[in-house]
Chains A and B, each alone.
Chain A
Amino acid sequence: MIMRHGQLFVAGLAAATASISLSMFSMPSLSQTAAATTASAATPGGLNCTGAAVRNNVPADDPLKSQKDPFLGPLAGRDLPPGLLPISDATRNSIFGVGLPCQESVNTSGQEVDELGRTVGLDNLQRGFDFYSWRTFIALNSPADGTPIEQAQAGTRTLWEDMNSFKQLLDVMLPANQLPPKWPTDRAGMEAERERLVPPECRELHRQFPQRMIVKMIEESFNEPFKTGPLIDQQGHYAIFDILMNRQMFNYIMANHLNTKAGQAANATLSVDFPAGQNAKSEFGAFMLKVSWRILSPSEVQAKNFHMVDALVLTPPAATRRCLKETLGLVGFHAVHKTVSRPQWIWTSFEHVQNVPARDEVTAHKLHGPYNFFSVNCKGDCTENATPPTPWDPDPALELRFRSDDSFKSQIVRETPLTNAAKNMNTIFQSMLSNSVWKNYMLISTQWPSAFSCTSQQAESSSSPDPKTDFFKQPDMTCSPAPTFLANSTLETYSQGDVPLASSSCIACHSNAVGFQRSASNPQPGKPNLNQSDFTFMLEKAQ
C-alpha cells in the first residue's frame, strides 16, 4: 500500500472541508443487529445491514471533531495514544452491537492532524474507511448463532458462512445443462438447493458429514490473479481461494440473466449496474467476499489459532477429482461492498496475523514466527516471493499437497508494510477481541475511490436503468483509488509493490472486468454501453 501524500499540504484544508461530511445521512434507529440477522429461521432478505452509525448526534463541541469512530486521539502516529486502552465495555458494545454498515460513514474532520495541529483530511478519511472495514469484519464474522463475537472460538460458524447470507460463486454459475440456481428464503428450500448442488465425488462424504462446508475448486481456487501461480504453505499444501456473493448481487444476476454466457449475450444492451448500499434507506448493496484458506494439521486444529471450518474440498477439474475431508483455517478475507457514494466499491482486506513477516521485519531480523507462508529457518533455495516451479496443477493423488517430497514451500514477505494508522486500529480492535479467535486477524487496509467529483457522477436521467447508480465512467472510472496499491499476502501474493499496472490495485484491476455481453461498444452516441461488468470478475465465470 502506498500512501504518499503531503500532510502539510493537505492539512490546511480544514477550513474548507471541516464541515463537510461525506456521507452523512439521517440515521434511523434500527433494532436489527448483526447477531439478530442470523437466524435459524431465515429472514426473507437474508443478511441485513444497518444505517445506524456508532456515533450519532455528535455535539457541536465534539472532542473527537466529528470523527466517526469513538477512539480518542490520533492513530496515524507511531504509537497508540496513551490512555486509549482498554476500550470500555460500553464503547465496545456500541461498536460490536450496531451491526453491518450499509454504507461508509466518513468525514474529512477528525483527530488526524499534522505536526502543526492542522487537520489532515486524507488521513481522517482513511481512518473512517478503516473503521468501516473493521465494523464490516466484525459483523460478518460474528457467530451465526447470535452469540457475541467476543466469545467466538476457532470453530464457531460465522454469519457469512450461513447459507442465508452468502452463496458461493460456483453455486451460481452453473453449467448450461443444469437447472438455474435458486436461493430460496426458507431454510428447507436452501437445504434442498444445497443438496442438489453437491458434486457426485462428494456425495458419500456429504452423507456422512452433512454439515461440512463444500468448497469446489477450479483453477482460480489455487492459482492467483493473472495466473501468477499457487501459494504453498509451510506444510506443503496449496492455499485455497473461494468467492461468494450476497443476495442482492445474486438477485441482480438472476434478474438480468447474467448467470450464463447465453444470458449475458442475449442481454447485451444492459449496462451492468449492481445495487448500492446506503445508510439513509438501510439498504444493503451488492457485496462480494473472497476468502483464502489453508489446510490445517492436527496440531494446528488443536492450537485453535485460526477461524476453522470443517470442509469437503473437491479438487480442481482433472482426469480424476477427489473430495477431501479437511479442516480449513482462514488466512485471508476480502470484503467488497458497493455503496451509493462509492460506486467503485469499497475494498477491505484482512489477514491472519501469522501469515508472513513484513519486509522491514525481515531486514531487521525481527521475526516473530512461525508464519503460515514464510520459514524463519529456511534452508536451501529461499527466494522470497517466488512463484513455485511448474507444474502448478494439483496432482489428485497428492490430495492438495504441492509436491510429494515437500520440495517447495512459499517464502513470502509483505513488501508494503501496514501504515501506523492501520496498526493502531488493529491493536484497538484486537484488544476488544482478546478472548476470541478473531484477535488473530488484522486489517491490511481499505481501498476507496478518492476523487469525489468522479464518484459523484451518477445517473441523472430518470430513464436510466435501475438502480440508477450507474454513472458516466469515461474516461477513467477508477476515481483515484486510495491507497493507490493494496495487496493481501495470500490473495495477491505475487502482485505486491508499487509499480503501476503491475502491482495490485483492487479498483484499477477490477475496472477492467468484463462479461460476455457481445455487442457494439457504443451503439448510440452519448449512450455508453460498454462491455463492462461493474468491477466484478464474477460474470466471467458464467458457463
Chain B
Amino acid sequence: MDHRGEGNAEGAEPVTQAGTLSRRTMVAGTVAVTAMAAVLPLGNLAYGQAPDPKTDMLAFLLLSEALTGVSKVTLAPELSGSNPGFDPINIKDAYFAWINGHAAPATFRKLLQIASDNSASPANIVAKVNGSDDDTKCLARSIVLLWYLGSWYAPGDLKANATPGRRHAVSSQVVSAKAYTQGLVWLIAGAHPMGYSNLQFGYWSREPHDPNGPKGTPLPLFSPAKS
C-alpha cells in the first residue's frame, strides 16, 4: 500500500504511508548529514555490544528519518540549525531504549550500521534495508510503526503476519503515556489521540494544515526533498 500525497511547492517528493519499505525516500540527507556531523558523532558500531544511545543516536535518527520520511528536525528538534530548538519531551531516547529492550540486539545493530554506512543518502538506507533479511526488514517496519503510532508491533509478529496464508491480527503495545501522545500520525494529520490535545480551542473549525504545503507553513514536518 502506498498512499501518496501531493507534492509540495518546492518540488518535494510526496509523503508516503509509513509501514512500507518499497517507496522512494523523501528526505534530503546530504545537507542534513553535513549539519548533523557537527552535532553528533557517528559511532563505530562494535559488534557484540548492544546499541548505545550515547554513540548511536545519530545513526538511529538517520535511520528513522529515512524510514519515516519525517525530517530529523521534527524527530529531534535539537538538530535545527540557525533557529535552535530543544526537546523537553525527548521521545527519541524512549524509543531507542524500548527497541534496545525488545528487539534482537544484533538486528538493531545491523540497522544502525546500515544507517551509519549510508549516512549521506536516505535512499540508500532504504535500499539497503530492503535488501536485508526478513528479520531486519521487519524490525525496520516496527520502528516505522513506533514513530508513527507510539506503539510497538513486535518484529516477530510482523514477520509471521507477512507469511502467505498466515495473516492474522497483529497485537501492539502502547510504549508509554508519553508515546501515546507523540505518534507522528497525529502531528501529520493535525489531529490528536483520544483524551489528549494541545490543539487550540476551535481548531476543528479550521481548514486542516497541510504538512506538505507551500513554503512558510508553520511546521516543517518533512525535509526538503531535493537529495
Distance to closest chain B CB from A108 (angstroms) = 6
Given A16, A476, A480, which contacts B84 in the complex, CB threshold below 8 Å? Answer: A16
The answer to whether A478 and B198 touch across the interface, beta carbons within 8 angstroms, is yes
Q: Which residues of B contact A3 (CB under 8 A)?
A: 88
Distance to closest chain B CB from A89 (angstroms) = 35
The answer to whether B206 and A17 touch across the interface, beta carbons within 8 angstroms, is no
Q: In the assembly, what is the distance between CA of A424 and CA of B190, in Å?
A: 40
The answer to whether A474 and B218 touch across the interface, beta carbons within 8 angstroms, is yes
Known A454-B218, A482-B88, A484-B88; contact A475-B205, beta-carbon cutoff 8 A: no
The answer to whether A473 and B200 touch across the interface, beta carbons within 8 angstroms, is yes
**8 A Cβ contacts from A492-543 to B:** 498-501, 508, 511-512, 514, 520-522, 525, 528, 530-532
Q: In the assembly, what is the distance between CA of A477 and CA of B53, in Å?
A: 31
Q: Which residues of A contact B177 (CB under 8 A)?
A: 498-500
Distance to closest chain A CB from B187 (angstroms) = 8
The answer to whether A532 and B84 touch across the interface, beta carbons within 8 angstroms, is no
Distance to closest chain B CB from A17 (angstroms) = 4
Q: In the assembly, what is the distance between CA of A457 and CA of B92, in Å?
A: 26
Given B54, B80, B195, B203, which contacts A475 in the complex, CB threshold below 8 Å? Answer: B203
The answer to whether B84 and A8 touch across the interface, beta carbons within 8 angstroms, is no
Known A451-B77, A474-B203, A528-B206; contact A108-B38, beta-carbon cutoff 8 A: no
Given A482, A521, A525, which contacts B86 in the complex, CB threshold below 8 Å? Answer: A482
The answer to whether B87 and A5 touch across the interface, beta carbons within 8 angstroms, is yes
Contact with A along B187-227 (1 / 0, CB 8 A): 00010000111111111011101000000001110000000
Chain A interfacial residues counted at CB < 8 A: 53
Q: Which residues of A contact B31 (CB under 8 A)?
A: none
Closest to A12 in B: B39
Q: In the assembly, what is the distance between CA of A508 and CA of B88, in Å?
A: 14
Contact of A15 with B by CB under 8 A: yes
Contact of A30 with B by CB under 8 A: no
Chain B interfacial residues counted at CB < 8 A: 46
Known A514-B201, A530-B200; contact A15-B84, beta-carbon cutoff 8 A: no
Contact of A452 with B by CB under 8 A: yes
Q: In the assembly, what is the distance between CA of A10 and CA of B35, in Å?
A: 14
Given B39, B89, B200, B220, which contacts A480 in the complex, CB threshold below 8 Å? Answer: B89
The answer to whether A532 and B38 touch across the interface, beta carbons within 8 angstroms, is no
Q: In the assembly, what is the distance between CA of A405 and CA of B180, in Å?
A: 45
Q: In the assembly, what is the distance between CA of A451 and CA of B140, in Å?
A: 29
Q: In the assembly, what is the distance between CA of A8 and CA of B76, in Å?
A: 13
Q: In the assembly, what is the distance between CA of A532 and CA of B86, in Å?
A: 26
The answer to whether A452 and B218 touch across the interface, beta carbons within 8 angstroms, is no
Contact of B178 with A by CB under 8 A: yes
Q: Which residues of B contact A15 (CB under 8 A)?
A: 38-39
**8 A Cβ contacts from A1-50 to B:** 2-6, 8-10, 12-13, 15-17, 20
Contact of B2 with A by CB under 8 A: no
Q: Which residues of A contact B207 (CB under 8 A)?
A: 525
The answer to whether B85 and A451 touch across the interface, beta carbons within 8 angstroms, is yes
Given B84, B93, B196, which contacts A17 in the complex, CB threshold below 8 Å? Answer: B84
Known: A453-B83, A501-B195, A532-B202. 5 other contacts (CB 8 A): A5-B93, A122-B88, A474-B206, A480-B77, A501-B196
A-B contact pairs, 11 of them (CB 8 A): A8-B53, A8-B57, A10-B86, A13-B78, A20-B82, A122-B78, A122-B88, A452-B83, A474-B209, A475-B203, A501-B195
Q: Which residues of B contact A (CB under 8 A)?
A: 35, 38-41, 53-54, 57, 76-78, 80-90, 92-94, 177-178, 180-181, 190, 195-203, 205-207, 209, 218-220
Q: Which residues of A contact B (CB under 8 A)?
A: 2-6, 8-10, 12-13, 15-17, 20, 108, 121-122, 125, 450-454, 456-457, 472-478, 480-484, 498-501, 508, 511-512, 514, 520-522, 525, 528, 530-532
